[in-house]
Amino acid sequence: MKITKTNNLPLDQFIDLALYDKENGYYMKKNPFGGDGDFTTAPNISRLFSEIIAVWTITFWKSIGSPNQFNLLELGAGNGEMIKVIDETLLNFPECYSACNFIIHEKSDFLINQQKKNLNSDKFTWLKNIEKINKKPTIFLANEFFDAIPIKQFFKKKDGWIERFVNLNNPKKAEFTEEKTNIEKIEKNLNFQISSDQSIIEYSPDTFKYLKIICDLIKKNDGGMLIIDYGYTDSKMQETLQATNNHKYSNILENIGDSDITYNINFHSFEKFINQFKEVNSIFTNQKKFLTNMGILERAEIISKNTTFSQKADLFYRVKRLIDENQMGELFKVMLIKNKKNNFKTGFVN
């Protein structure tokens, strides 16, 4: 892995190198999704997950006036499994389908090629810069997208705040280092006090850039964003940085470029950041409530009729993984960002 300029990198630059280096980055050279990869996402567990997102998309599209042209943009589409099922599901709703312009925002050229093989459709376009999207209303979908964006870490010491760095003088013996930082300067750029009552700060500068761009687009063109990711809602931030290799937790500083590096999103900080935008707001719940409110159990009952016992057992085992509080049901949160004038709450309240 090539290191330029300096061998002592802020944590977010190290993660960016490990995940997105053009030659050796984790997401740039392999498909990490599914049984053969390092982790399994909800769309790979059950097709029902993506069908529910499709149904939610239709109801949200109706809430913004059923425009005759709108964009459905997935941020980081993985192997394309979720958007493929959404495409197939929307076919059953011709009015919505004909209005829908499918777009994928993906950083990895390797994954773009995987998506193109999986989707095999003229209906899809790929967009590297979401600021260049057309002026039609856009529904953004972000399933396990933000947890893959590099983060910074800061720790409060007696004499002030320090930022975590990674020393790569010897990449095989990488080690954490720290440098003093001016937290007030960072807060001025963010336009809110991220350090208030905190002893640890985890945040992603790129994530807040995405949120700002998308909030501005929602304000200007209408639409909204559905975020599904693992995280927590406490106001107090935690240290959650972790690496995964072959479905197991691993050392962040080992197997650089061969392990996924991720963190748990602090949805409270997302909400706080979004509150800066006077014309948009957010609501959130957990994945169990969202999927059950959207009727996943009823849908499972319908499609399990006339199936064998083992097929039915497998279907409900997969649904349980998605909604069980000890599995994905509580760990994963679902957040909607929308215009304040839109009172849509489907999936978020009983």
- pLDDT confidence of 341, banded at 50, 70, 90? very high
pLDDT of residue 5: 47
What percentage of the chain has pLDDT greater than the value 70?
Answer: 95
pLDDT of residue 37: 52
| E strand segments, 146-264 | 152-157, 160-167, 175-180, 200-203, 223-232, 242-245, 248-250, 260-262
**What digits encode the pLDDT tens for the residues 177-223?**
999 999 999 888 887 888 888 999 999 999 999 999 999 999 999 99
Q: Is the pLDDT of residue 43 over 90?
A: no
**CB-based contacts of 2, cutoff 8 Å, min separation 6:** 21, 23
Whole-Å CA distances, 341 to 5, 218, 225, 282, 336: 48, 12, 15, 12, 14
List the chain domain ranges.
21-149+204-339
Give the full edge-to-edge strand order of the sheet including 248-250.
248-250, 242-245, 260-262
| E strand segments, the chain | 8-10, 70-75, 100-105, 124-126, 138-143, 152-157, 160-167, 175-180, 200-203, 223-232, 242-245, 248-250, 260-262, 265-266, 280-286, 332-339
Q: What single DSSP character describes residue 149? A: S
**Interval 113-138 mean pLDDT:** 92
- pLDDT confidence of 127, banded at 50, 70, 90? very high
- pLDDT confidence of 13, banded at 50, 70, 90? very high
CATH number listed for the domain at residues 21-149+204-339: 3.40.50.12710
For the record, the structure tokens of 279 come out as: 């014309």
**Interval 138-153 mean pLDDT:** 95
Q: Read off φ and ψ for residue 334, nearest 5 degrees.
A: -125, 125
**What digits encode the pLDDT tens for the residues 247-291?**
778 888 988 888 889 999 999 999 999 998 999 999 999 999 999
Beta bridge partners of 71: 101, 138
Of 26-35, 97-106, 257-266, 314-323, which one has max mean pLDDT? 97-106
Residue labelled with tokens 């006077």: 278
pLDDT of residue 39: 56
pLDDT of residue 2: 52
pLDDT of residue 7: 81
CB atoms near residue 159 (< 10 Å): 7
Average pLDDT, the chain: 90
Q: Is the pLDDT of residue 18 over 70?
A: yes
The whole-angstrom separation of Cα 4 and Cα 284 is 41
- pLDDT confidence of 12, banded at 50, 70, 90? very high
Q: Are 74 and 46 in contact (CB under 8 A)?
A: no
Q: Is the pLDDT of residue 36 over 60?
A: no
The whole-angstrom separation of Cα 111 and Cα 117 is 10
